[in-house]
Each structure stands twice: as C-alpha cells, then as structure tokens.
Amino acid sequence: MRISSFSIHPVAVADPPLRSSYGRHAPYALRTILVLTTTDGITGISEAHGGDGSLAALEAVRPLVEGMDPFHLHALWEKWGKPSTQGDRSQTWLVPGENPHDARTRAFAAVEAACLDIIGKAVNQPVCDLLGGRARDAAPFSAYLFYKHGGGGGLGPDARDDEYGECLTPESMVRQCRQMIATYGFREIKLKGGVLEPALEIETIRLLRDAFGSTFPLRIDPNCAWSVETSVHVGIALQEELSGGGYLEDPTSSMEGMAQVRRQLLAQGIDTPLASNVAVTGLNDVVPAWGEDAVQVVLSDPHYWGGIRAVQRLSFLCEALGMGVSMHSNNHLGVSMMIMAHACAASPAMRFACDTHYPWQSAQDEVLAGGRVKFVDGAVVIPAKPGLGVDLDMDQVARLEERYHQLPYRKRDDAEEMRRHVDPSWQRVLPRW
Amino acid sequence: MRISSFSIHPVAVADPPLRSSYGRHAPYALRTILVLTTTDGITGISEAHGGDGSLAALEAVRPLVEGMDPFHLHALWEKWGKPSTQGDRSQTWLVPGENPHDARTRAFAAVEAACLDIIGKAVNQPVCDLLGGRARDAAPFSAYLFYKHGGGGGLGPDARDDEYGECLTPESMVRQCRQMIATYGFREIKLKGGVLEPALEIETIRLLRDAFGSTFPLRIDPNCAWSVETSVHVGIALQEELSGGGYLEDPTSSMEGMAQVRRQLLAQGIDTPLASNVAVTGLNDVVPAWGEDAVQVVLSDPHYWGGIRAVQRLSFLCEALGMGVSMHSNNHLGVSMMIMAHACAASPAMRFACDTHYPWQSAQDEVLAGGRVKFVDGAVVIPAKPGLGVDLDMDQVARLEERYHQLPYRKRDDAEEMRRHVDPSWQRVLPRW
C-alpha cells in the first residue's frame, strides 16, 4: 500500500471575536484539510493549522509522502518530523501555528494523522487502538471560556449567529459557562485570561467557583500576560479556587519566570500546579522544565508537538517524571477534534480534561459528513468505526476553501485585528500587568 | 478479535558454561514460550525469561489476557504492566529475570509481543511497521564475547558440541571473536568482563583492538565487579580502545558509583560513555541517571523494560536527553531474537549495535520452524512476513519442555554453579576488584 495522492485544502472557518493576550480573533480562522489516498483506494484525512506557512510546509513534505508506505512513519519522522533543536520554539510571541521552528513538525503531524486514518481503515480499527489501545473509551474536554466581543464570526452573508453574545465582564462569563455546559456537559472549566485587569479575572474565577462549586476544576490561562509579581498575586488570591484538579497556565513568560512564580507560591505554602504550552513545546523542553520545577502540567498538542504518537511519548515521559499532562487546543474543526480525542484515548496518563475550541465553531462551517462531533457529558466518545471515525463532506470543504481564497489575509494576526476593531495603537506588551 | 487461549511452555536450552561476575551459566538456560490464540484462529508467539518466577507471573496475568482484545494493550499496561515504583529495581544483585519487582512488567512484555505478532498477522504487517514503521530494515548486533570453561552446554546425551572451546585468557578471546565474526559478520564487539583480574581484561580488550582495528567499536561489561577506583583505572587504561563508538558498561554498582566514575574520568579528560542496564532498569530511572550524569548510554530490554513499545519510549526519551540507547540481552531463543530485532528496527535512536546471546545457543535447541534466525553482516534482517516473522516448531518446544521438567532447578543461580564446578566457597562479592 502506497500513498498515491496528496491533496491540500486551505479553509476559512467563521470564528467569533474571541479575546486573549494575543489580541482578538479575526472573523475567519484558517485551517488546512489534508486528504491522502492510497494505491488501493483508501482515503485518510487530517487537519492542520492554516495559512501560507502551513501550506508551504505541507507542499514541502509532499514529495516525501507521495509514494510512501503509510505504515513507515518513523522514516518520515527522522527525515522531516523531528523538532528542530535550533531557534526559539517557545510560543511566547507567536501564536501556535505561526512558529517557523515547528513548521516541519506540524506538517509531519498532519501526515501522521492521515496515515493513521488510512491504516485504521485498512485494518478495521480505530486510531487509538492502533497505538497500544484505548486507555479510555471517551476523551473528556473542558469548557473553554473566552472573553469576547459581540458577534458570531464570519462576514456579510456568511456572518454567523452569536449564540453566546458579548462577554467582557465576570458576570457574563458565568452566563457563557452555564450555556456551554448545558450544551456540551463539560465537567471541568478553563478560562482564557490575560484580557481584563487581573482583579476582574480573579473575580471571574471566583464567580465561576460560586456558580459551579468545587466539583468543577478551574483553570485560568492569561498567555504570559502577567509579571512574576502579578502571577504570584493571582496564585495567592485563587489558591482555593484553582485547587482540586485546577491549574494556573502560563501566567508569565519564560521557563525562568515560571520557575520564579512556582518558588514564590511554594514559599507561601501554595502548590497550585503551573501548566504550560508556551515554555515547553517539545520533548526536549520537558526535562529542563521539570528540573527547574517551572511546569507541573505539560500541555501537549497532537498538531505542533508532532503527532499523536508524540503526544503518547510525552504522556509517558510526564508520568515517569511525576508531572501531569493535558492537551492544548487551537481553533479547529471536527477532524482535529477526532485527532485530539484519539490522542487522549491512547495516552493513559492524560487525566485532566483537555482543551478544545470546538464550541466556538458551528455546524454551518463543519467539514464532517453528517455534521459536528457530538459530546456526551463533556467527552467525545471514540466511534465504533475504523480510523479517526469520521469522513469529510467535500461540498463543505469546497465551500470553505473558496471562502479562504477570497480572504485578504493568509496568517493569523490577532494584534492587527485588535488595532482594526478595538484600539488603533494596540500592541502586544508582555507583561501587560 | 479476542484472545481465546493462553498457553505457556517452560523450556530448557543447552547453554555453555559462560562466566560473568554473577558466576557461571548452568548447563541449561531456562526460558518460557508463550502462545496466544484468538477467536478467529490467529496465533501469536512470544518468549520470556524462564523458571518458576516467570511462570507464576504469566499464570497470574492469564485471567486478564484471556478474552482480551489484543489491540487493547494500554489497558493491560495500566492494570498490570507499569513498572513498580516500590522496591529496588536495580539488577545489581539479581540476574535479569529474577527480580520480583519487575515480574509483572516482564509478564506484560511477553503478552505484548504475542499480541503484536497476532496483530501483524491479522493486518499483514511486520511488527516494527505496526509501531510507527521501521527506522531500519535490519537490526545490527554485536559480537558478545564471554570468558568460558570448556563445554557446549547440556548434559548426557543432550550435551552439545563446544564450537568455541575454553576461553579464559586474553589470547583465546581473540580466537573466539574471530570465530564469531566469521560466522555472523558482527561489526561491533562487546566483552563480558568481571571474570579475570582487571589487568587481564584490559589486556584482552587491547588484543581485540590490535586484532580488529579501530573500525570495530569495543565495549566491556564487568557487571559491577569493580570499585570506583578500579573502574577509573580501567577507563584510563582503555581510553583509546573504548573510543569511537565504544562504552564502559556497568563498571561499578549504584547510580552514585557510576556518577563518581564519570566525574573522575572527565577530570582526566576522558569522556568514554558509561552504559548501564543495572543502575537504570525502567523509565523512571533515566532522568535521575541523566541528572547525575551517571549513565550516558541506556541499555533497553524489550523483556524487562516492559515490551517493545516501552523500548521505543525509552529510545525517544534518550534522544530528547542527548543520551545514547542500546539493548541488553539475556540467554534467548529465536523468538526473543525477533522481538529484539523488531524493537531495534522500530526505535529510530537506537544507533549502537545491540547485545545478543544468540551465538551461544545452537540449532539443536532452536524452537523456530525452519531453524535459527540468520544474520547478514552481523544484523538480523526484518523478514518480509507479518508479525514477528517466525513460527514455532512445536515438536522442538515439546522436547525442550520435557527437558525442563526433568531439571532439578527452577531458577537461574550462577553462583551455585560456580560453587559446584569451580570453587566450593565462591560468593558473589561486589566490588571484587
């Protein structure tokens, strides 16, 4: 069995004006759908980050993939996938998917998922069962809350309903969370912070705790918006609220900054774990982060960490080190949703609910045949179908691809979007507080 | 597909009187052959350590395996395979296969290999290609030289020819090595030391270097027989001979002892890597060994490290840490030979030739249908057949099993064998020199 066709579909997906320390989401998020076909007619699908950078990386790997045996992934890993040890791989300044130092690793990850989908279909097994077998039958995700402006994303006739409305206050975030939990059944909660004054974000977390109680673990992620001092202040203020399965994610930038926050919190008797997908972005970063006690929960990602097997390796490494492991998310469609679910199911040590942006996309822009992935009690059940367990609706792909080609931008730039809509002089300043 | 039958065959294999710091090999080595059959009639085979301990561990895991889906290995890993974090898992005092703290992990490994053999046959792929794909088409092994008494192993009518003869001097070791390389084509050389006075073992390595030249990397492994001081002395004496792909393996016991040897050698400007399968025996030991710079090359083992996937995890971890990785061996038959070859082929970072005792067993006691695994230029070529790529000769298994039941011993005890044949008062003393 050989790969005989390699087909790349850049797509644009309506995305609400979500806020983070990077700025504001543009009306359309960019993603890439990859379709591989084999000589015996099996199709494997995948999803990757979007825009020119991702497309170029996929085009560059294409000659290695055409003609390849989909089982022979390690050979491609050695030639192409291995994370670079050169350059700054941290995500401090670059949004995930825009870091040139992991462009090849991300392209490998996209190819790996499509190959695993092919293999699963060839041998009639779900992807997670090709990788040592499921450690769980359903992958739990958390309610991923965002401060946001009004609007559901998209432009003109493509504009989408805004089911969540504007949310720029602590009170409205409780409403957003109730609504999301009512729809998806999530049992853990993550707040994207770094947007409002820290006092307001502290207040938001407190209101969430009041509203949902201590059985819903709480996390906050300001994407490095805070100084060490502010991070410690928030850690102290939210000692109670972030306990019991919660964590404080990337409060400040750099391994050294994270280690300082950890030391100062421990000195106060507070052992809230620090999570990160910014200071640690590859297997080579984990042991240093562990050595400095800068990170206690590593946030994997089957896209930029180099695939589902790379997430498994990370999961076993974290377990060996006594670190926790969870999963980071970017805007994504249903194919990535299933890649993430299989990665979680096949990683025994992944015991936190993972992140997903999936609630922020809608059926209108889903590329899956049969519509959106369904959640049961906040979890994605591994389908009783081979491979990733989902198929593409190629009409939808064509529609979103046409839209992509009409867009004036080819990369994610949340700062530009802030300047356009919120503050013409806006710059990303770290730390902001 | 479910596992419907779980069949255990203890076997005894003629073994020459090889020497090490543990003592002397008994006339028969003990191994266990495992045969799993599925509801749809596919057979998977495996091989494990032998004797009562291994049999008890396999019997104990049997209820979890009968009825299991062979793809669902992680669930068994979680319930049964995970290395214990309790107790001393080092191999300082216990021969591999006799450490109760890894008995469950070893039983898991045996089941995993048989399940992978089943899966490979079910989906028509070699085992290494089920695991991310081969990083190489052939697994290179080294010439594993032993000081030995005369005799080919076995007793009475079962006694075997001794093709290598007595070898208890430096000069005869050169002869042994020539003979082994002429037969198998090995391109790297490992000497089991800890048997003669260190001065004679230094002399042995020097004669090997003189005879084979610097293109054949050289290793010596005295199994912790030396003090820190003697280890450093040998490291200095063999600085030149162990360079260029060589290493000094487990010269002394304990992580701290190894770290001392390393520090003292570095202080002399000698950076000969220290290898170990004694101080580090599981994923949890690797980072501490790296942190103390006690070990630079970790010796995996798909049997007691917990299977082929565990070797892969180790391989990726070592790569991330900048450590080398190779593979340890125990006496074994052809099934283990293939398990080791697939583990090596599926682990990209495994760039040293691996250990194998295979030359010390013979066709007379091979359990494989069609006879012994063949070597090409010192390497085992991955067969173009599904699964492990080999089948059992059940008549041979029955013969070796009958012999097992006639033996008076049920565990490996090299010290007892020394007392019986060499020195009635012999005790294993560490360090001996």
- Is the same domain home to A197 and A295? yes
Nearest to A133 among B71, B125, B321 (CB): B71
- Which residue from A381, A362, A386, A271 is spatially nearest to A322, judged by alpha carbons? A271
- Is the same domain home to B106 and B151? no
For the cut 80, the answer to whether the pLDDT of residue A226 exceeds it is: yes
Residues counted in chain B: 433
Q: Does B172 touch chain A (CB under 8 A)?
A: no
- Which residue from A285, A224, A231 is spatially nearest to A101, judged by alpha carbons? A285
**Chain B residues near residue A348 by CB distance under 8 angstroms:** 74, 77-78
Q: Report how far residue B411's alpha carbon sits from residue B345's, in angstroms, rounded to the nearest whole number.
A: 31
Catalytic residue among A192, A233, A303, A332: A192
Q: Does A384 touch chain B (CB under 8 A)?
A: no
Residue B120 pLDDT grade (very low, low, confident, very high; cuts 50, 70, 90): very high
Q: What is the dihedral of CA A282, A286, A292, A294, to 10 degrees?
A: 70
- Is the same domain home to A192 and A268? yes
Q: Which of B284-288, B314-318, B356-360, B363-367 has the weakest average pLDDT? A: B284-288
For residue B345, the chain A residue with the least C-alpha distance is A74
Q: Give the three-class secondary structure for A300.
A: strand
pLDDT in tens, B16-27: 999 999 999 999
- Is the same domain home to A187 and A215? yes
pLDDT of B132 reads 97
Active site residue B342: no
**Chain B residues near residue A283 by CB distance under 8 angstroms:** 316-317, 320
pLDDT of A92 reads 80
Count H helices, E strands: chain A?
Answer: 13, 14
Q: Give the three-class secondary structure for B211.
A: helix
Question: How many C-beta atoms surround the C-beta of residue A80 within 10 A?
Answer: 17
Contacts of A257 (CB under 8 A, 6+ apart): A224, A228, A231
Contacts of B147 (CB under 8 A, 6+ apart): B18, B19, B167, B168, B173, B192, B195, B196
CA distance to partner chain B, nearest, from residue A134 (Å): 6
Q: Is position B425 within any domain?
A: no
Cβ of B346 within 8 Å of Cβ of A69? The answer is no
For the cut 90, the answer to whether the pLDDT of residue B94 exceeds it is: no
CA distance to partner chain B, nearest, from residue A75 (Å): 5
Q: Report how far residue B196's alpha carbon sits from residue B204's, in angstroms, rounded to the nearest whole number.
A: 10
Q: Does B291 touch chain A (CB under 8 A)?
A: yes
- Is the same domain home to A174 and A298? yes
Residues counted in chain A: 433
pLDDT of B177 reads 98
Q: Tell me which of B121, B287, B319, B325 to substitute to probe the interface with A (most A C-beta atoms closer than 10 Å).
A: B287
For residue B85, the chain A residue with the least C-alpha distance is A320
- CB-CB contact of A34 with A392 (8 Å): no
For residue A323, the chain B residue with the least C-alpha distance is B284
Average pLDDT over residues A31-56: 97
pLDDT of B245 reads 95
Q: Is position A420 within any domain?
A: no
CATH of the domain at A170: 3.20.20.120
Q: Does B415 touch chain A (CB under 8 A)?
A: no
DSSP state of B374: P
Q: Does B122 touch chain A (CB under 8 A)?
A: yes
- Is the same domain home to B308 and B399? no
For the cut 80, the answer to whether the pLDDT of residue A328 exceeds it is: yes
Instruction: Dump the DSSP string for A94-121.
Output: S-TT--GGGHHHHHHHHHHHHHHHHHHH
pLDDT in tens, A10-27: 999 999 999 999 999 999
Number of A:B CB contacts under 8 A?
A: 80
Active site residue A192: yes
Residue B284 pLDDT grade (very low, low, confident, very high; cuts 50, 70, 90): confident
Strand partners, A10: A32
For the cut 80, the answer to whether the pLDDT of residue B88 exceeds it is: no
DSSP state of A364: G
**Chain A residues near residue B123 by CB distance under 8 angstroms:** 122-123
Nearest to B133 among A71, A123, A132 (CB): A71
Q: Is position B141 within any domain?
A: yes
In terms of DSSP H, where are the helices of B33-131? 52-65, 73-76, 103-123, 127-130
- Is the same domain home to B175 and B210? yes
Q: Is position B428 within any domain?
A: no
Q: Determine if the peptide bond prior to A83 is cis (ω within 30°).
A: no
For residue A85, the chain B residue with the least C-alpha distance is B320
Structure token digits, residue B33: 């052959």
pLDDT of A337 reads 98
Where do the DSSP E strands lie in A132-246?
Answer: 138-140, 143-146, 189-192, 218-221
Residue B163 pLDDT grade (very low, low, confident, very high; cuts 50, 70, 90): very high
Structure token digits, residue B164: 């290598």
- Is the same domain home to A53 and A169? no
pLDDT in tens, B326-377: 999 999 999 999 999 999 999 999 999 999 999 999 999 999 999 999 999 9
Strand partners, B9: B33
pLDDT of A388 reads 98
- Is the same domain home to B141 and B48? no
Q: Is position A424 within any domain?
A: no
- Is the same domain home to B301 and B381? yes
CATH of the domain at A41: 3.30.390.10
Residue B188 pLDDT grade (very low, low, confident, very high; cuts 50, 70, 90): very high
Number of domains in chain B: 2
Q: Is position B414 within any domain?
A: no
Per the listing, tokens 């990397």 go with B217
pLDDT of A97 reads 84
Q: Report how far residue B39's alpha carbon sits from residue B36's, in angstroms, rounded to the nearest whole number.
A: 10
For the cut 80, the answer to whether the pLDDT of residue A408 exceeds it is: yes
Q: Does A40 touch chain B (CB under 8 A)?
A: no
Q: Does B137 touch chain A (CB under 8 A)?
A: no
Q: Is position B412 within any domain?
A: no
Residue A397 pLDDT grade (very low, low, confident, very high; cuts 50, 70, 90): very high
Q: Does A1 touch chain B (CB under 8 A)?
A: no
Q: Tell me which of B3, B290, B316 to substitute to probe the interface with A (most A C-beta atoms closer than 10 Å).
A: B316
Cβ of A77 within 8 Å of Cβ of B348? The answer is yes
Q: Does B118 touch chain A (CB under 8 A)?
A: no
- Is the same domain home to A358 and A401? no
Single-letter amino acid, residue A13: V
Q: Report how far residue B170's alpha carbon sits from residue B28's, in angstroms, rounded to the nearest whole number.
A: 26
Which residue range is the domain that position A267 belongs to? 129-389
pLDDT of B407 reads 96
Structure token digits, residue A200: 């307001």
Q: A78: burial class by Cβ within 10 Å (0-12, 13-18, 19+)?
A: middle
pLDDT of B85 reads 72
Residue A80 pLDDT grade (very low, low, confident, very high; cuts 50, 70, 90): very high
For residue B284, the chain A residue with the least C-alpha distance is A320
Cβ of B74 within 8 Å of Cβ of A135? The answer is yes
Q: Report how far residue B332's alpha carbon sits from residue B361's, in angstroms, rounded to the nearest whole number.
A: 8
- Is the same domain home to B172 and B82? no
